[in-house]
Structure 1
């Protein structure tokens, strides 16, 4: 398992999704012969001036909490200070501290608790619009709200979309005995953003009583955590979870998961030792003086929230199994080929998979190496197809089957809509050509919902129709808890909806992913 994790660190850096520069700021617009002034919205903290675009208004860089800097490093989020005058909201706030990757050049900013609001241009709708609050992915160590241009979703679905920055890595999830909020600062930030939405989104035309919390990958797992958090109760009325099942754990290292307090505190002690604070009389004071760049160099490739805390009393996997999660409608799913991007990354890092070494590789992946033969029989490697086969193993074990299990457990007591994104040739998620076709791998559903980095991906006519269908499903679910309508193919709660160009409809994917095998693995 250790060599897999080490290879993963090296592999994913060159495969980070390319993010284009933000689109040029437009403070006003002209529709026909009528000039539309830049919109100003008055919030409880002060007025903000956004920008007008074709069919939508955009407000960026709105502070939802005070900067967690200096003595506020590793404290629960505090309210943002009010301001006088009109605050410029035409550019995003800084991304939270992270290494270079999705954010070009990375970031060392701790002043990063900002959100963005995208709303249809018509601010005089008779009824408040549904609100979708988006939590980005990135292993809890990378990502930014500004990467997700949500105007197609806002305009096409007539909803208000809020994207959120939250603290990442060691700054978001450090754990130490006696430290209030230990191991959950990033999750606390998300709750602060949800409280901001509850109190303020009405000024942007959104309905604070109709909020859907949505996310992908680590952002999806954060949705799971918020569903299990008592302090998040009532802050959202629906949930969307994309490629981040609630039942993850350390035996499935390619998917996000939470850790026990002792594990989190051990990681915190190791960080303190690495940056030279372990022997200090005031360890926390020493850590608060360490430069961000040094913390980034010392932290791991992924971060994990801690359960057994006031914010997250129990592991989300246990909360799902026991039914102790918020009783709200949910839309949950995964992509057909989630793991191929990791297999391609491992190959780029020098890991090969051949018929000769496949059993050894499989034995290093499964928790019980004695069961490697079962994996080899279910996923045979022939010739040069080792990479795609290993990708299928990673995707089925860490994503597809856990997502199906999560959906089935939740559906026993809640309204749950399940999907599988299955476009075999979506826009490529990597800046460089991969060593083999990735299929519907991790992240490839995102361009169907967002213009990543403000840039629409090249799509076929059928893919554009699928994007419209998916936006319709997502936003109708946000409006009423039911994705059906709008002339889209019927989606049955009793089956998994396959999302693919020209063949969207029910599918039974469990056997396709060998879920009977993975159900017997730890």
Structure 2
């Protein structure tokens, strides 16, 4: 009898072992937020949610007002399609011309399962005048990096950045900073809701490129952004660069109002104008954050860092090796002569032109457009390598851990392909390495660089220290030789002295 019982027990164990375990149930495409339930898509290795409102449409009386909380809805909201892009005129960042103002939406790509993942919030570029988060595929960052990635629409052009005294309405100073306030409203939404999507609201990294980076630099200096992000990645816009002052921005706004016929009762008049007229009249203006008052941005970022009155978080910061080739190619689609080259240098550098031309002589460049781009990439403007070098040192002295880089793949697919012109590692070329498919296709070596960059970016989001499998270690910035050069191929990733390579001592010696 005992042998029978043992045999029966053995047979039961065999049957249990042979019975396949029940398949894990698929994660639900439905998620409850603080304003209602959204239904996205569950894919093979990730989930996608699109077009989630984080604020009320800034239309009618809410035009040029701080973003207001989104109203709750009943039932289940479809979150499978992108929300409308913010009103803009078509520019080279891929946005199409549109005039709709109902645009304050965000999108989320998350790993298929899990919780407490690091969160990365993306701010697109486009000069704060154009751009569309729908262009950026967040999948590789989310799946390879095991992070939750959020992309954000924010008001652009006149609707996001117009400053005028009549728009103040007795509130603390914010005129001209509506796009910045939109970004902060989206970050507050993330803090409240991202745990439901598997993210950790206590571990949020804000990252962006070009104008998105400029806004991140302002966010580092903004008291109203305190506590909204834990790390920052600013790509291709120096955090040491000055932004608009209240006086400058409001003077521009008054002239703008006069140009569109709003001299009497300007606030009501401006709010009554169609978006098309506003956007077209604002073309070519300066849509960047405004310093003034004691509320949104009381100090220039440099002054905030120097005084210690900023949001002290770890910062990854850098630019591309040939930033200004994008603008040289667009401005001069055909080769220029030596006389033109020298004339442009004199117009740009004034009393310093002779010294600049001696350092960057026309004889050094078969294509003089490359010469123009080189001098401007090294030493001129907020995209310049030397301006970034200044920002690395400034933030590091202020007590923020800084990891500095320079993207250096001169074979990267360009944003704009100008016939007969070598774009090199121009402005925006690093983006395809983080968002595959954005500008073109990568070869095998470039894909390996992309893998390393995704590893660096997402590990930084995880714990503030960038690391990547089978890639060199990334030193914290302590001096000019601590900038990580990012290029494909053996030895393509290595620390570099970008200050020496870009003649930063020369540029700093020039008279103001």
TM-score, length-normalised on structure 2? 0.88
Q: Give runs of aligned pairs for residues 181-196 of structure 1, distance below 5 A.
A: 181-196=174-189
Query: For the Cα contact (< 8 Å) 1:176–1:269, is it kept in 2?
Result: yes
Aligned to 2:206: 213
Specify which of 101, 112, 131 is matched with residue 103 of structure 2: 112
Q: Give runs of aligned pairs for residues 195-210 of structure 1, distance below 5 A.
A: 195-210=188-203
Deviation at 1:433, TM superposition (A): 3.5
**Alignment partner of 1:481 is 2:472:** no
Q: 1:103 to 1:290 in 2, by over 3 A?
A: farther
Structure 2 residues not aligned, in runs of 5+: 1-22
**Alignment partner of 1:97 is 2:97:** no
Q: 1:84 to 1:485 in 2, by over 3 A?
A: same
Deviations, residues 44-65 of structure 1 (Å, cap 9, x unaligned):
1000111123311111100000
Aligned to 2:234: 241
Runs of 4+, deviation exceeding 4 Å? 33-38
**Alignment partner of 1:418 is 2:409:** no
- Matched positions, count: 470
Q: Which of the two has higher C-alpha Rg? A: 2
TM-score, length-normalised on structure 1? 0.87
Specify which of 281, 287, 302 is matched with residue 298 of structure 1: 281
Report the Cα distance in structure 1 between the residues aligned to 2:139 and 2:454, rounded to whole angstroms. Answer: 11
* Structural RMSD (CA): 1.8
Specify which of 12, 29, 33 is matched with residue 39 of structure 1: 29
Query: For the Cα contact (< 8 Å) 1:353–1:361, is it kept in 2?
Result: no
More helix by share: 2
**Alignment partner of 1:361 is 2:351:** no
Deviation at 1:519, TM superposition (A): 1.9
Deviation at 1:225, TM superposition (A): 0.5
Specify which of 353, 356, 374 is matched with residue 372 of structure 1: 353
Query: For the Cα contact (< 8 Å) 1:329–1:416, is it kept in 2?
Result: yes
Aligned to 2:441: 458
Deviation at 1:395, TM superposition (A): 1.4
**Alignment partner of 1:386 is 2:368:** yes
**Alignment partner of 1:63 is 2:63:** no
Aligned to 1:327: 312
**Alignment partner of 1:347 is 2:335:** no
Query: For the Cα contact (< 8 Å) 2:467–2:474, is it kept in 1?
Result: yes
The DSSP-based 3-state class of the residue aligned with 2:375 is: helix
Using CA pairs below 8 Å that are at least 6 residues apart, which structure has the higher relative contact order? 1
Query: For the Cα contact (< 8 Å) 2:466–2:474, is it kept in 1?
Result: yes
Deviations, residues 396-430 of structure 1 (Å, cap 9, x unaligned):
22221111110111112221100010011101221
Q: 1:70 to 1:504 in 2, by over 3 A?
A: same
Report the Cα distance in structure 1 between the residues aligned to 2:65 and 2:28, rounded to whole angstroms. Answer: 36
Report the Cα distance in structure 2 between the residues aligned to 1:360 and 1:505, rounded to whole angstroms. Answer: 37
Structure 1 residues not aligned, in runs of 5+: 1-32, 250-257
Specify which of 470, 473, 488 is matched with residue 490 of structure 1: 473
Query: For the Cα contact (< 8 Å) 1:354–1:381, is it kept in 2?
Result: no
Aligned to 1:175: 163
Report the Cα distance in structure 2 between the residues aligned to 1:497 and 1:56, rounded to whole angstroms. Answer: 31
Report the Cα distance in structure 1 between the residues aligned to 2:67 and 2:366, rounded to whole angstroms. Answer: 51
